[in-house]
Amino acid sequence: MAYEKLLNEITAVTTLKYFWRGYHEGYVKWESPDWFNKKDDIGIEVSQALLPRDGKEESFLETYLGRPKEELPEEAFLYFGSRLYFYNNRFWALLDDGENDKDVEEKIITRFQAKLKKLNTNYRLCATNALYLFAHAEIKRSAAKRIEYLMAGIAEEEAHRFDIVFLDCVSVLYLIERKKNGLSAVAIPEKARRFLTAEAEKTRVDFDDAIGTPFL
């Protein structure tokens, strides 16, 4: 499923606040990357391992995610039906319909390639450039290791690379650190995941997404 962009960004930084030892206070909302910590000189881009089936679906997501239910056009309800998911009267997600035949690994690698290209063209480069990817699926360590290998091969072709990739796989957060430990994992129990979701949703309600807004 595809979740509203700002909620995703807040969920990512909230998760890192509680589960990443390298997290320090000081992150502010940014654009390309989504979060910036000036003191640590770390930039974090947040994305989802998703491949919309067609241009209509992709355009709809970009236009309406996070918008109030009443702002969605009537034809959206006819076209997407029960795939539309609302929270607090806002369009939060477009649920899967089981027809996308791309596997999760391919989705992750495709999104990684797209973000890596942008890192090398229009991102603010930091001392540490990080990518947080929501896989929206459980992934075994062996698969994460294979993904790490594929990412390394792709990155060799670019001048600038992500120093850390956070791969959020529901019950585990994988850290792929290019210069340090390689692949490591942090378990996120179901109770903790519920807490993170609640915290992120609470923050999202009043969060001003203007550049420079601090994450507290």
| Contact yes or no for 48/134 (Cβ under 8 A) | yes
Each of the 216 residues of the chain gets a pLDDT tens digit; together they read 556 788 899 999 999 999 999 999 999 999 999 999 999 999 999 998 876 565 677 778 878 888 899 999 998 998 889 889 888 888 887 877 665 545 889 889 989 999 999 999 999 999 999 999 999 889 999 999 999 999 999 999 899 999 999 999 999 999 999 888 789 999 999 999 999 999 998 999 889 889 999 998
For 162, residues 6+ apart whose C-beta sits below 8 A from its C-beta are 115, 116, 119, 129, 130, 131, 151, 155, 178
Give the ranges where 161-211 is alpha helix by DSSP (H): 190-206
Instruction: Look up the pTM and report it.
Output: 0.82
